[in-house]
Amino acid sequence: MVQLSRLFLLLIALTLFACNNAATEDASEETAKEETATEETTNNPNEFGAAFTANDIVSYDDLLSKMSEADSVMATVQAKVEAVCQNKGCWMNITSEQANAEEMMVKFKDYGFFVPKDIAGRQVIMKGKAYREVTPVDELRHLAEDAGKSAEEIAAITDPKVELKFMADGVKLLSE
């Protein structure tokens, strides 16, 4: 009976130690996650994704000019939002103030943040990488659906498209 009591006490002690240790590890992991989030994101309601200082801003038209000479460009760009994903705000299209300028599809690094769905027509500053990429038909159709296009418009998409894209680390929505 004494051995059974000792075994029981040993099991209780091990359980308490294991629970305490796990709680300490969980708390340490949470603290580390919070510190990382604080370094990478902002609490400003008009800023999304990684915090950044808006230095050396180029206009969208200047970026288009740079992209005619390079495969990709790291830049901080100011542009007008043309459209936003109406499901989640998980992408946006930007455009120039100039007529007939090429639009740019903007996605957000690691699908890690979204923008408000009602910012079409507003100006943004975004930091990241511009590049060209072939977008397959199925993705073009999916994006058209997200944008609220009609079934006829979606069905009319039959060819892949080389598009100008931007992978944004962070986005700042400018005041109206």
Please report which confidence band the pLDDT of residue 76 belongs to, taking 50, 70 and 90 as the band edges.
Answer: very high
Q: What is the pLDDT of residue 44?
A: 86
How many Å apart are CA 138 and CA 153, to the nearest integer?
13
Over residues 36-64, mean pLDDT? 81
Q: CA dist 70 to 12, 63, 126, 127, 129, Å?
A: 66, 10, 19, 17, 12
Q: Domain locations in the chain?
A: 1-40, 49-173
Whether residue 20 is predicted with pLDDT greater than 50 in this model: the reply is: no
Q: What is the pLDDT of residue 40?
A: 54
Q: What is the pLDDT of residue 31?
A: 39
What one-character DSSP code corresponds to residue 50?
B
Q: Which CATH number fits domain 49-173: 2.40.50.140, 3.50.50.60, 3.40.190.10, 2.40.50.100?
A: 2.40.50.140
Burial of 20 (0-12, 13-18, 19+ CB in 10 A): exposed
Q: What is the pLDDT of residue 102?
A: 87
Over residues 124-130, mean pLDDT? 97
Q: What is the pLDDT of residue 101?
A: 84
Task: Determine how β-strand 72-84 pairs with β-strand 57-59.
Answer: parallel
Long-range contacts of 5-8 (CB under 8 A, 24+ apart): none
| 3-state class (DSSP) for residue 97 | coil
Whether residue 148 is predicted with pLDDT greater than 80 in this model: the reply is: yes
Over residues 4-10, mean pLDDT? 47
